[in-house]
Structure 1
Amino acid sequence: MIYGGFAPLLDVGSRRGAYIDGFVLPVPPGNKQAYTELAQKAARKFEEYGALRVVEGWSDDVPDGKVTDFRRAVKAEDGETVVFSWIEWPDKATRDSSWEKIMKDPDMQPDHDNMPFDGKRMFWGGFDVLLDTSAEASAERELA
């Protein structure tokens, strides 16, 4: 198990996604502002294409594990911070069609010379929501 605490860096949108994309990546020292600006730009685009919520977490309490941990997972170098982020979508179909559009959007093409993080050490994946204890999800369960 890998665990850690992350301070909110960005949290936009509602909280009722049924499908989630998760990302973990290292950010070099001094790149917090540049990363935040990139994350804000990307969040606007994700919402434009159907995302319900985008959250970026800046590591705050990320302990070293005995076998693995967040820092090892991204091969974090001295001074690098780990970012844990997710995008909530209404469903997987919306996510899949949105990513096709996002990947073709000229505003979303990466500027590899000016990225505030090393994308080769980022990892990501898509997840069905297994449990959601938010007030919105609780209200939906009561209505069902």
Structure 2
Amino acid sequence: MGYVDGFVCAVPTDKREEYKGHCEEAAHVFKKYGAERVVETWGDDVPDGEVTSFPMAVKCKENETVVFSWIMWPSKQVRDEGMAKFMKDPICDPNQNPMPFDGKRLIFGGFNVLVDI
């Protein structure tokens, strides 16, 4: 059924277009290394919670927007191999391609697909 990497981060709202370009470039590299699909979404209706929430999880500031993203892979093995190649790719060099957000507040994880209808 595949494998999914999921991500949540806070991006400065005024860097939306810079972030979009960063993601488009990275998506092509992920696909080169085996990803089937890369989806980046820009928060529109992401409320603060009382106990927990997306904004709280990434310590979203007033001038930031929550982003929710995922990468679909055919299997965990393809993901592990592809991600290892991606991390060695020049796109990951922060001197050549700095992230337009605070990567220390990025939440990520790998997930087995349970239901896909």
Instruction: Give the TM-score of the pair, scaled to structure 2.
Output: 0.94
Alignment of 1:104-123 (within 5 A): 104-111=88-95, 114-123=98-107
Match of 1:87 in 2: 71
CA distance in 2, matches of 1:129, 1:57: 19
Match of 2:82 in 1: 98
Q: Using a 3 Å threshold, how does the CA distance of structure 1 residues 119 and 88 change in structure 2: closer, same or farther?
A: same
CA distance in 2, matches of 1:105, 1:74: 26
CA distance in 2, matches of 1:28, 1:40: 17
Q: Which of 25, 28, 33 is the matching residue for 1:44?
A: 28
Residue 68, structure 1, aligned to residue 47, structure 2: no
Over 4 Å off, 4+ runs: none
**Larger Cα Rg: Structure 1 or Structure 2?**
1
Give structure 1 stretches of 5+ with no counterpart.
1-16, 134-144
Match of 1:59 in 2: 43
- Which amino acid letter does the alignment assign opposite residue 128 of structure 1? N
The higher relative CO (CA closer than 8 Å, separation ≥ 6) is in 2
CA distance in 1, matches of 2:69, 2:48: 19
Instruction: Give the TM-score of the pair, scaled to structure 1.
Output: 0.77
Report % sequence identity. Answer: 54
CA distance in 2, matches of 1:44, 1:114: 17
CA distance in 2, matches of 1:45, 1:89: 13
Give structure 2 stretches of 5+ with no counterpart.
none
Cα distance, 1:114 vs structure 2: 4.0
Q: Using a 3 Å threshold, how does the CA distance of structure 1 residues 67 and 20 change in structure 2: closer, same or farther?
A: same
